[in-house]
Structure 1
Amino acid sequence: MTTHITTTTWKGKMQFESTNPSGETFLINAAPEHGGEGAGLRPKALMLSSLAGCSGLDVASLLEKMKLEVHDFKIQTIANLTEEHPKVYDNVIVEYHFYGNNLDEVKLEKAVNLSVEKYCGVMEMFRKFAHVEIKMVYHKE
């Protein structure tokens, strides 16, 4: 079993610095309307970035293994935040955008499905608390 440890240190007011197991650091801060100064990432939005990053790493690896020709690849996450406290994401749409001249849609769909259904642990965690919808968009150049 692998254990990940992060350390998140208060830097004053509504700002924290957090380490990642890789040794990298980043700032977390509240929005100005919640007493923050806006410098840093928002905790809930970080969850969406983690979801996209986890799946994106899977898909990028599969693109290489499948020798797929993709000029650019982006993931957009759109999440609904509930109104009542604690505010949580209850519905999330993950859109995979592929750009290129010779996009093999069948293989790209297979790569995304492998990530979504088999490899991405963050995706599985999200399914524990939210409805997750997957969309694929192809941009021919």
Structure 2
Amino acid sequence: MASTMRVTANWLGRRHFAAVGPSGCQVEMDAAAEVGGEGHGARPMELLLMGLIGCTGIDVTMILERMRQPLSSLTIEANGTRREEYPQKFTEIHLYYRMAGDVDADKAWRAIHLSEDKYCSASASLQAEIVPHLILNGQEVADVMAPA
């Protein structure tokens, strides 16, 4: 059975909106100044990337915890490339997982791939190519599972 999620956004003037969903947390959105925005909130497309890294971050930390991998820090950065023409959707998103701790690199990659391929609803909802990168304890680690 499919589940549904409802969010609402109230217009606060010009291009400014306040949205709330099932969590009860409010998120403010606004457009760029060149189209009438006034800097009162995040841009919708940046929220899309934030949702993606939040989703995969939750997955990866849960998976590493189950694998008994002692993660001491995790920062995820998303760099998205958008089309010039409308709709200006993301075509490619590079995710940089900066991890520290006594974590096995193969298990870190396994967690990233499980998130991307099985668990992360946000990445599954996007049409963009998602390219992961792992930086473990300051060193970039190649993905041995990636196609050549």
TM-score (norm 1): 0.91
Question: Which residue does the alignment assign to 2:61?
Answer: 60
**Superposition map of 1:104-119 within 5 A:** 104-119=104-119
**One-letter amino acid of the counterpart of residue 3, structure 1:** T
**Is 1:9 equivalent to 2:7 in the alignment?**
no
Sequence identity (%) = 32
Structure 1 partner of 2:99: 98
Q: How many positions carry a matched residue from both structures?
A: 138
Secondary structure, aligned partner of 2:7: coil
Q: Distance in 1 between matches of 2:73 and 2:40?
A: 29
Give structure 1 regions of 4+ aligned residues with deviation exceeding 3 angstroms. none
Which runs of 5 or more structure 2 residues have no equivalent in the other structure?
140-148
- Looking at structure 1, the residues matched to 47 and 138 of structure 2 have their Cα atoms a distance apart, in angstroms, of 30
Q: Which amino acid counterpart does residue 117 of structure 1 have in structure 2?
A: D
Letter in 2 for 1:118: K
1:16-52: CA deviation from partner (whole Å, max 9, x where unpaired):
0000211111100012222111121100111111111
Structure 1 residue 82, shift from structure 2 partner: 1.0
SS in 2 for 1:71: strand
User: Counterpart of 1:122 in structure 2: which amino acid?
Assistant: A
Partner of 1:40: 41
1:28 counterpart residue number? 29
TM (norm. structure 2) is: 0.87
Gaps of 5+ in 1: none
SS of 1:87's partner is: coil
Is residue 72–residue 99 contact of structure 1 (8 Å, CA) maintained in 2?
A: yes
1 CA distance for matches of 2:12 and 2:55?
28
Say what the alpha-carbon RMSD is for the aligned residues: 1.5
Q: State the 1:75 CA deviation.
A: 0.9
Would you say the 8 A contact 2:15–2:30 is kept in 1?
A: yes
